[in-house]
Amino acid sequence: MALSGQLPLVSLPPQMQAELRMSGLAGHWGACNRCGLCQRRRHMIWGAGSLRAPIMIVNSTTSGYDNQNGTPLAGPGGELVAHILTRLGLNPARDCYVTNLVKCLCPKKSEEDGTLRRRLPTHDEVEVCKVAVEEQIKIIDPCILILYGQQASRYLLGDPRPLAKFAGHWRTYGKRCVALSAYGPNGLMMGDDSVSKQATYFNLWLETAEKLNLLGRMWRPDAQLFQDGWAFNPPAPIGQLGVSAC
Ligand code: SF4
């Protein structure tokens, strides 16, 4: 029941409803100390992008770049994603919401030199933190969910297999969302074969844009990109993407 003097949430426009729900959720998680990862983080990575975006990206872990900058998908991987989206006529800020499954860096002290390295989060750390991302997915209500890294698929789709067994596969998530399991872009940009891996990655986004054109028009006709008249036009084949490897 609405309190006296307040509008019931359902009478507000969808954008405003989403903003209110997300700010309430972000406030609830605030300076979270639900697990020990709060002790060494520089930033907790909440999320970035449009709350009405038809595409939502969930990274499994918080990278060192994210922790340093305070934003998800920071660093060369994020640059690659933004570059590809732009090439497809999409706008990263308008058409994607990005967040992390585990919102704080998982550091591990090296036994060799004492420096801090990154490790995978434990089962308990993911279980406690994934509650936030599940609520974020309900608010964003995407038609396409991109899950980067094994743990995002393990904990959101319930698939315990190694990522190599299902990377590139699409599955349903709920009643009106499809989810793609994929390797995170930062990993793709390492090594001598990064250029050929970037081309493969571009093709995954091409497939995503086709699906967005079909499913997004059915499930998210309110999304700003459709209001702006975006339609899928296959771009010319790529040569070099022009994003430097890390
Ligand atoms: S990892 Fe998640 S649950 Fe743990 S402190 Fe950070 S935000 Fe809280």
Q: How far apart, in whole angstroms, are the C-alpha atoms of residue 190 and residue 67?
A: 19
Q: How far apart, in whole angstroms, are the C-alpha atoms of residue 41 and residue 39?
A: 6
Domain 34-223 has CATH 3.40.470.10: yes
Look at strands 178-182 and 170-172 and give their pairing: antiparallel
| Residue 234: closest CA among 216, 214, 207 | 207
Cα-to-centroid distance, 74 and ligand 1 (Å): 19
Q: Is the CB of 38 under 6 A from ligand 1?
A: yes
Cα-to-centroid distance, 32 and ligand 1 (Å): 6
Q: Is the CB of 130 under 6 A from ligand 1?
A: no
Give the residue extent of every domain in the chain. 34-223
From residue 180, give the alpha-carbon distance in Å to each of 144, 157, 177, 187, 236: 8, 10, 10, 17, 24
Q: Which residues contact 211 (CB under 8 A, 6 or more apart)?
A: 144, 170, 178
Residue 239, SS3 per DSSP: coil
Pocket test for ligand 1, best of 42, 102, 134 (most atoms within 8 A of CB): 102
Q: How far apart, in whole angstroms, are the C-alpha atoms of residue 35 and residue 129?
A: 8
Q: How far apart, in whole angstroms, are the C-alpha atoms of residue 173 and residue 171?
A: 7
> For residue 15, what pLDDT is reported?
87
Task: List, run by run, the mean pLDDT of 10-residue segments along the chain (246 residues).
Answer: 54 90 96 94 96 97 94 92 93 97 89 75 97 98 97 96 94 96 83 75 93 96 94 73 52
